[in-house]
Amino acid sequence: RFRILVVGRANAGKTTVLQRVCNTMDQPEIFDGNGGKVCGLLTFELMQRSYHNIEDELVFKSNPRYVFHDSCGFEAGSEAEFDKMKKFVTDQAKSTKLEKRLHAIWYCIPLNESHRMVMAAERKFFNECDSGHVPVIVLLTKADTLNLDAVQQLMRRGLTIDDAMKEAPEVEKQLQKGCLEKIKGWLNELKFPPQSYLMLTGMEQESADCEELLKCTANALTEEGLQGLLISSQQSNLGLCMEFAIMK
C-alpha cells in the first residue's frame, strides 16, 4: 500500500483532496498503528478538531491501497506536536519494510487566504523537517476561490458584474500564477524546500481529476518500485497506468 502523510492547517482542503484521489464522498476509516480499528465515539471529524495521533492510519473503503496519515496539529503552534510529527517522518523514512515506510508527503497550502499563504508553521516545517528521500509536494488548494478576487479586481477597474465574470478566468489564472511564484520564492529559500508544487483546481467537484496530482507524486519518487506501487494504487486510472508503463 502507498503511504502518504498529509500536512496542512485546518480547513486547507486536505480531506477533500483525499476523497477525490480515492473517488469517494465517504469519510475514511481509522486504524491504529497495529491495524486495529479505532471506533467508539471517535469520528474523523472529531479527530480533525481535537484528537490527533499521527500514527493512526486513514483508509478509504473505496481504495484501501492508500494509507494516509494526518499531521498532528503542529500548524496551530504546538512545539510538542511538531516534534512528534518530525520523529514520525524520520522513523517512517528509515523503515526497512517498504509497506511501513512513508512514501510521500503532501503539504496543503490554501489560497483562499492569500494574505497568509506561508505562515510560521510552513517556515518551521521547511526549515527544520528533513524528510530524507521522502518527497514533499506542496499542493496549492482552494485555488478556485481566487475567481472572486478576479471578479472584484475587474469591477474595481470599472467593468460591470457580467463583463467581470466573463473576463475573470484569465485574471484568475494570473492570480494563481502570482501566488505560486510567491510561495516558491519563500519556500525555496528555506533549508529543506519541497520537491514539487502543484496547483489544484476543481477539487470541490465530485468528478475532479486527480491525474496531475498522481503524476506529480510519481515523478517526485526516486525509486522505480515506488512509482509502480503508487500507480498500482490507482488501478481505475487506465490512462495513468499506461503512461507510466510506456515510460518504463
pLDDT at residue 51, rounded to an integer: 57
pLDDT at residue 19, rounded to an integer: 93
Q: How crowded is residue 128: how many other Cβ atoms within 10 Å of its Cβ?
A: 13
Whether the predicted pLDDT of 200 surpasses 70:
yes
For the chain, the average pLDDT equals 85
Task: To the nearest 10°, report the CA torsion of 91, 108, 32, 219.
Answer: -60
> In which band, very low, low, confident or very high, does the pLDDT at 196 lie, cut at 50, 70 and 90?
very high
> In which band, very low, low, confident or very high, does the pLDDT at 41 lie, cut at 50, 70 and 90?
very low
Q: How crowded is residue 167: how many other Cβ atoms within 10 Å of its Cβ?
A: 16
pLDDT at residue 142, rounded to an integer: 93
* % residues pLDDT > 90 (the chain): 52
Whether the predicted pLDDT of 238 surpasses 60:
no
Whether the predicted pLDDT of 248 surpasses 70:
no
Of these ranges, 43-52, 113-122, 147-156, 229-238, the one predicted with the greatest mean pLDDT is 147-156
**Pairing state between β 29-31 and 57-60:** antiparallel
Question: pLDDT: is 48 or 222 the higher one?
Answer: 222
Exposed/middle/buried for 112, CB within 10 Å: 0-12, 13-18, 19+? middle
Domain ranges of the chain: 2-143+191-247
pLDDT at residue 40, rounded to an integer: 45
Q: CA dist 241 to 26, 82, 234, 238, Å?
A: 25, 36, 8, 5
Numbers of helices and strands, H then E, in the chain: 9, 7
**Pairing state between β 136-141 and 29-31:** unpaired
Q: How crowded is residue 20: how many other Cβ atoms within 10 Å of its Cβ?
A: 22
Helix, strand, or coil here: 204? coil
pTM given for the model: 0.87
Task: Write the pLDDT tens digit of every residue in 144-195.
Answer: 999 999 999 999 999 999 999 999 999 999 999 999 999 999 999 999 999 9
> In which band, very low, low, confident or very high, does the pLDDT at 243 lie, cut at 50, 70 and 90?
low
- Of 40-44, 57-61, 198-202, the range with the lowest mean pLDDT is 40-44
Sheet holding 2-7, edge to edge: 29-31, 57-60, 63-70, 2-7, 104-110, 136-141, 196-199
Give me the DSSP letters along 83-97. HHHHHHHHHHHH-SS
Q: If you average pLDDT over residues 221-240, what whole number do you get?
A: 74
* % residues pLDDT > 70 (the chain): 86
Place of cell 496543503: 108
Question: pLDDT: is 90 or 95 the higher one?
Answer: 90
- So what's the architecture of 2-143+191-247 in CATH? 3-Layer(aba) Sandwich (3.40)
Q: If you average pLDDT over residues 41-66, what whole number do you get?
A: 74
How many CA atoms lie within 13 Å of 200's alpha carbon, on the beta-carbon side?
33
